[in-house]
Structure 1
């Protein structure tokens, strides 16, 4: 097993090539002569293990496989039936249910790990791999809570590994086009950002089911719960609806904001927000009675983040979900689509506006007639294949190693994905603070909501809310059992 801080990019392939040169120095036959055009020698392939290989994890396995530059050594999932497709795709890969056992047994045989579990298990799995010197690809959102995101960002730097978050739009041409437009001054200085999604498309704002159900025989429920508090298995939770529960998921914001907020973050070079406030949609149970379900993410929300920009006015950044959308820009004609309809971004500037849809696709200046005349120099590197090249962007960097040119061209390394995820999760911290309640002093059956009506002031470097202490309980959660970072 590699020691902590080892650089797997300083790889065995270099050792093997050097050994071959020493042993057969009189003559070396080029790889392409031995294997034909496009041939990749086994020593040049990235050895990969995957944690979570059903659903989105299966998509990640297929995406990494299509690069043609990897060997899958091991697969891990807590749900045997969901893992079936990936196991059939890679029948020679060893299969595990517990990622800790997999890393312990296969540590010497792998270079990189993909993590595609539910949100609450991202950080512990990724951190365990990075401490072993393994490169990691982690699905969005990078982590379940702000503390985890910060720790993963710092670990990537400490252990000198190649990292990537699974927000594929960051590899697309659209976000790079928007950066170039903005840098060329086409919309002036940005003043406001609006981002929105039609998610959730799973239940949120509901009561936890009261009737336990026997877990499926092919699901290890205890391993699925992982870091989360123990609860009996309930129906309609696995494999998808866990997203709406705070113990496991991060709601509509966590699911979509790493895709939708990423373009303006990249365009404007944003860091930590300075404040956050929100409002959430109500849930009604029975006749005109509002339900209070703090275990569940709300059915809709509107979050306002403010970012400090030295020497400039604060930037106002809006996030809306559950069908809430910003006012339609006057520059859009009645028959023109705003974003992609259900999702999108609008950046308002002192001289104009620009817009895109999910993943930064279809960037447009407003009015859209300006777009075809926007000829600015291309200044940014383009990823081969655009957003479809996101996996290859990571694989190539892993093979080349930490600090390589390929490493410098990564689309969403944790140095970028970490602060983005922290800002996304700051919105969830505001939501949970909004719903925090205490019994009234004069009537224990009635409640106060002290987090409402407060603009939470965020100290990014210290990772804490400075003006409402109860909010800080949502910065970092406790893990069950022996799980730790």
Structure 2
């Protein structure tokens, strides 16, 4: 069942309505000034100043995204869409006037004139198709991290943002934190010298990985449309406990620990050093043991842990190539000598980013929080000029920033993680996952070289099948 609502026409797609409002306002100004309280009180925002948002994925992270857009005071949650009524329940209760759909394609077809922007918070495998079709309609988009499931999709969305001239933002909210800007200022001021090595690590996965695909079940919850949930993924029978969270550990739907946390932890190196695309990558992965015997890994599942080494070419902010080490599954780099034996190492959540420079080091935890120079005493005495504008509200302001930019229009306001930045970041992380998947295909750790223009690995063609996957009928994604 769906709920009725009064729809609000998108002014940008209805010039006659916009002109009518402007001409009416000018005529009214000729004989009277209407007090603001008559229009709705002190906090009143005119409908023309509100962004009408359609939320695709209304539960979990989508629920908090939608709520944060509404908190900006300038976003009207006009539509909600989710394949699982259980997940959507809280958002529907919070926004009872928002019309509800299960299929985003039906919502786009019927309501495209009635919303201005789309928030996409679904499993990774459906990000690109939902966002791309919205962009084709001229809708601004906010997409949860990682931006896409495949490298080709990330390039497609990056190009589409420019082609369709829409405001974009990826949901790595730490990109709006002060910490990432502070570290960029420290680096620009030469406080740690030239950086050639970076470590990023996480305690993820906190969901099952490196396991055998479960036996199918016929107990599909009545609230869940399983075929819609699969979307662009291969057709498979329903299994228990995959929805709503454990999909992250399966390659058909998720991108593992790297996809989940990489956009948060690697964002700062991209901003600080101006990194772009990967030059080469290699990976070693943790093995699965069954009954005390080493079984390797199950190819349909992400590994339980990994250490991935990515090489980025020289940028205008480095003297040479940069090596970035990614570690997950609880693996961490060696403690810096500058830390005392009892000083805490890493963030509160077991995640961190460490820059190693020719004159010093700096690190931060999740979302670039707690940015610190090493030794720690240097932090309070650091003297670097402020060069980069802060985002009001930091990570929490990431949402309002996008709303404001959408209302201003394409190219009028800066956002922290537009697809021109988020796309290359996502591509680098997905390139790292190619090395992880190649580990099983090739039977060990090898260095894979990357042709960025052709979007392909040049020295092991078998792994290129994961650059762009095949899409099932009804969910085709074409440039």
Q: 2:49 aligns with which of 9, 32, 44?
A: 44
CA distance in 1, matches of 2:29, 2:249: 61
Matched residue SS, 1:284: strand
Moved over 6 A (4+): 9-13
Matched residue SS, 2:309: strand
Question: Gaps (5+ residues) in structure 2?
Answer: 1-9
Aligned to 2:407: 399
Matched residue SS, 1:289: strand
The offset of 1:338, in angstroms, is 1.9
Matched residue SS, 1:75: strand
Aligned to 2:376: 368
Matched residue SS, 2:290: coil
Aligned to 2:466: 474
CA distance in 2, matches of 1:36, 1:231: 54
For residues 196-241 of structure 1, the C-alpha deviation after alignment (integer angstroms, 9 at most, x for no partner) is 0000000000000124242101100000000111111011111100
The offset of 1:28, in angstroms, is 6.4
Aligned to 1:345: 353
TM-align CA RMSD: 1.9
**Residue correspondence of structure 1 range 22-61 to structure 2 within 5 A:** 22-27=26-31, 29=33, 32=36, 34-61=39-66
Instruction: Check the 8 A contact 1:390/1:411 in 2, yes or no.
Output: yes
1:466/1:18 Cα in 2 relative to 1: closer, same or farther (>3 Å)?
same
Aligned to 2:321: 314
**Residue correspondence of structure 1 range 327-346 to structure 2 within 5 A:** 327-341=334-348, 342-346=350-354
How many residues are treated as equivalent by the alignment?
464
For residues 253-312 of structure 1, the C-alpha deviation after alignment (integer angstroms, 9 at most, x for no partner) is 000000111111111110001000000000011231314310000000000000111683
Provide TM-score, normalisation by structure 2: 0.93
Instruction: Check the 8 A contact 1:280/1:431 in 2, yes or no.
Output: yes
Instruction: Check the 8 A contact 1:272/1:460 in 2, yes or no.
Output: yes
The offset of 1:313, in angstroms, is 2.1
Q: 2:393 aligns with which of 368, 381, 385?
A: 385
Aligned to 2:6: none
CA distance in 1, matches of 2:421, 2:177: 15
CA distance in 1, matches of 2:212, 2:390: 46
Matched residue SS, 1:306: strand
Select between 308-317 and 27-36 the one with higher mean Cα deviation: 27-36
1:161/1:188 Cα in 2 relative to 1: closer, same or farther (>3 Å)?
same
Question: Gaps (5+ residues) in structure 1?
Answer: 1-5, 438-448
**Residue correspondence of structure 1 range 40-439 to structure 2 within 5 A:** 40-309=45-314, 312-341=319-348, 342-404=350-412, 406=413, 409-437=414-442
Instruction: Check the 8 A contact 1:54/1:82 in 2, yes or no.
Output: yes
Matched residue SS, 1:246: coil
1:218/1:184 Cα in 2 relative to 1: closer, same or farther (>3 Å)?
same
Provide TM-score, normalisation by structure 1: 0.92
CA distance in 2, matches of 1:30, 1:351: 63
Matched residue SS, 1:114: strand
Select between 68-77 and 307-316 the one with higher mean Cα deviation: 307-316
The offset of 1:314, in angstroms, is 1.2
Aligned to 1:440: none
Select between 36-45 and 170-179 the one with higher mean Cα deviation: 36-45
CA distance in 1, matches of 2:360, 2:294: 44
Instruction: Check the 8 A contact 2:142/2:171 in 1, yes or no.
Output: yes
CA distance in 2, matches of 1:19, 1:276: 59
Instruction: Check the 8 A contact 1:195/1:318 in 2, yes or no.
Output: yes
